[in-house]
Amino acid sequence: MKKIMYRSIPVFLVIFIMFSGCKKDEVKQQEADNPYTPRIFDNLRIFAAPRIINEGETANFTGLAFSPASKVKISWKVNDKEMSTDTAYKFKPAAGGEYNIKLDVTYQGTTTSRSTKVLVSPSTYQFKLYTNVVLAELTEDGTAADLVWNNITHLDYQVGKVAADGSFDASKGNVNQRADEIVARAHINGVPVILGISGRLSGIDGWAVYESNDFGTAIRDNAKMQALVQSVKTYVANRKMDGVDINMTDINSANAPANIHAIGPFLTALKAALPQNAIVTVTASVNYQHWEYPDLSAATWVNIHAFEDNGHNFPDSPVGQSSSYDFMVSGTQIWTKFHLPASKLVVGMPAFGLRYNTLNAAGHNASYGSYDYMTYKAIVAADPAAAGKEKADIASGVYYNGIPLVTQKAAYIKANGFKGAYLWAADYDATGSNSLMAAIYNTLK
């Protein structure tokens, strides 16, 4: 009988035989059932935020890695049009505007995408035509998102803070390129941007702080004043702004007369330093201190702070409207009678209200600490019907300018030949049909 010999088969040989028996279409089916998603590695975070550049500059999209590294199909698109299939892309726009940049990476029919925007500030721009100035004042905390460009003709960005030593700080405009975005979007929409410079402001109402002399001290000293002029000139040029507003509010101190008198030489020096076509304005009060203002006829125009009568916020003062129609009219008449023609004046209106938190037994304001201010958009948020009124039952009552009142004021401004109106502040305004800025624009246009 023949002896049968048994031999063991190595494991690797068994595996080889098993895979050798698999059909090629089974492998393809497994890949189809488990597709590989391509990946984009953005270690430099070039897609993390929108870019803001000037026309003629280049936005570089480099430093990316992909997986599977050399097998993906790459497509760079600008406003949905393919511009490159390289691993990196350099975008150099031919004109100002906002552009959508999209990167598609595809492998075996599966696509991964990244996208961002590039805002390009135009090198040349033409300002829109207007009959009356409709000026939006934007505080240092405001952004481009607070503005509706169709509702304004000019923008005053109050971002420059003047210290007593004559130094100038506009650092809040550097946050997330805030100032660059504001200027770019304004110029794309044909709106000139004015740099607003001030000392310390009192808060929501944006006016005088008791015994504050920062700005006044700086411009009363010739050396400090000249240094300030040069700093402002440099900033305006670097940021491509179109002018400056001198918002010197140091009028609530013993040095108020000297502070106000110093505006004249400062205005002269600033106009000499800036381009000939620069807009240079002054913001001034309409109270008894109007007598202290020097000749401001060299200014492009003067903004008059014709709101807040300060007659309703003393202890035991009657509650009521501090920014009435009559107060605005009397303020404009002071300036037209004693200072400048109406055609040189832009009249202010408030986008905030005086809120009473505590009243005394007589129903009057209780004390200096019993009131504060509330932005118009906060008032509308608390009372949806507030836009059509000028008093809302919030706390112990808040008095403000609603759409009927600002429309009445704007009609007076237009009928009496004033240069225009401004709103303090655009970032306090509500949106849509509740917007004060829209109501002013539609009346003055």
Using the predicted structure, report yes or no on whether residue 352 has a pLDDT greater than 90: yes
Q: Is residue 276 part of a domain?
A: yes
What is the SS3 assignment for 371?
A: strand
Q: Grade residue 14 by pLDDT with cuts at 50, 70 and 90.
A: very low
Q: What percent of the chain has pLDDT over 70?
A: 92
Q: Are residues 77 and 208 in the same domain?
A: no
Q: 């009521």: which residue's tokens?
A: 320
Q: Is residue 15 part of a domain?
A: no
Parallel, antiparallel, or unpaired for β 371-375 and 352-356? antiparallel
Using the predicted structure, report yes or no on whether residue 13 has a pLDDT greater than 50: no
Using the predicted structure, report yes or no on whether residue 119 has a pLDDT greater than 80: yes
Angle between helices 403-415 and 436-444 (to 10 degrees): 30
**Distance from C-alpha of 249 to C-alpha of 10, rounded to nearest angstrom:** 93
Q: Are residues 61 and 159 in the same domain?
A: no
**Distance from C-alpha of 93 to C-alpha of 440, rounded to nearest angstrom:** 36
What is the SS3 assignment for 259?
A: helix
Using the predicted structure, report yes or no on whether residue 30 has a pLDDT greater than 80: no
Count CB neighbours of 101 within 10 A.
Answer: 22
Q: Is residue 1 part of a domain?
A: no
End residue of a domain, out of 80, 98, 121: 121
CA distances from 276 to 107, 233, 270, 271, 272 (A): 58, 12, 11, 8, 8
**Distance from C-alpha of 169 to C-alpha of 306, rounded to nearest angstrom:** 28
Half-sphere exposure of 355 (CA within 13 A, CB side): 16
Dihedral, CA atoms, 302, 306, 310, 313, nearest 10 degrees? -120
Using the predicted structure, report yes or no on whether residue 338 has a pLDDT greater than 80: yes
- Residue numbers of the domain that contains 100: 39-121
Using the predicted structure, report yes or no on whether residue 15 has a pLDDT greater than 50: no
The burial of 148, by beta-carbon neighbours within 10 Å (0-12 exposed, 13-18 middle, 19 or more buried), is given as middle
Q: Are residues 152 and 64 in the same domain?
A: no
Please list, in sequence order, all residues whose beta carbon lies within 8 angstroms of the beta carbon of residue 61, skipping any fewer than 6 positions away.
46, 76, 88, 89, 90, 91, 101, 103
Q: Grade residue 97 by pLDDT with cuts at 50, 70 and 90.
A: very high
Q: Is residue 231 part of a domain?
A: yes
Across 148-161, average pLDDT: 98
Angle between helices 263-273 and 222-238 (to 10 degrees): 40
Q: Is residue 33 part of a domain?
A: no
What is the SS3 assignment for 213?
A: coil
Please list, in sequence order, all residues whose beta carbon lies within 8 angstroms of the beta carbon of residue 178, skipping any fewer than 6 positions away.
143, 144, 172
**Distance from C-alpha of 96 to C-alpha of 98, rounded to nearest angstrom:** 7
Contact between residue 284 and residue 319 where contact means Cβ atoms under 8 Å apart: no
Q: Are residues 267 and 311 in the same domain?
A: yes
pLDDT of residue 36: 82
Q: Is residue 16 part of a domain?
A: no
Q: Is residue 11 part of a domain?
A: no
How would DSSP label each residue in 278-307? -EEEEEEE-SGGGGG----TTSSEEEEE--
- Domain at 107, CATH number: 2.60.40.10
> In total, how many domains does the chain have?
2
Q: Are residues 116 and 238 in the same domain?
A: no
Q: Are residues 178 and 109 in the same domain?
A: no
Q: Are residues 163 and 287 in the same domain?
A: yes
Q: Is residue 378 part of a domain?
A: yes
**Distance from C-alpha of 227 to C-alpha of 219, rounded to nearest angstrom:** 10
Q: Grade residue 28 by pLDDT with cuts at 50, 70 and 90.
A: low
Q: Are residues 408 and 387 in the same domain?
A: yes
pLDDT of residue 26: 54
pLDDT tens by residue, 318-327: 999 999 999 9
pLDDT of residue 6: 43
The region of weakest confidence among 18-22, 53-57, 58-62 is: 18-22
Question: How is residue 94 written in tokens?
Answer: 């031919």
What pTM was estimated for this model as a whole? 0.89
Q: Are residues 62 and 185 in the same domain?
A: no
- Domain at 259, CATH number: 3.20.20.80
Q: Are residues 211 and 93 in the same domain?
A: no
Across 100-115, average pLDDT: 96
Using the predicted structure, report yes or no on whether residue 9 has a pLDDT greater than 60: no
pLDDT tens by residue, 227-267: 999 999 999 999 999 999 999 999 999 999 999 999 999 99
pLDDT of residue 34: 58
**Distance from C-alpha of 437 to C-alpha of 343, rounded to nearest angstrom:** 21
pLDDT tens by residue, 263-313: 999 999 999 999 999 999 999 999 999 999 999 999 999 999 999 999 999
Q: What are the residues facing 154 on neighbouring strands?
A: 135
Please list, in sequence order, all residues whose beta carbon lies within 8 angstroms of the beta carbon of residue 43, skipping any fewer than 6 positions away.
63, 65
End residue of a domain, out of 74, 97, 121: 121
Question: How is residue 24 written in tokens?
Answer: 């090629």
**Distance from C-alpha of 225 to C-alpha of 228, rounded to nearest angstrom:** 5
Q: Are residues 65 and 163 in the same domain?
A: no
Q: Are residues 111 and 202 in the same domain?
A: no
End residue of a domain, out of 93, 121, 149: 121
Using the predicted structure, report yes or no on whether residue 136 has a pLDDT greater than 90: yes
Contact between residue 305 and residue 286 where contact means Cβ atoms under 8 Å apart: yes
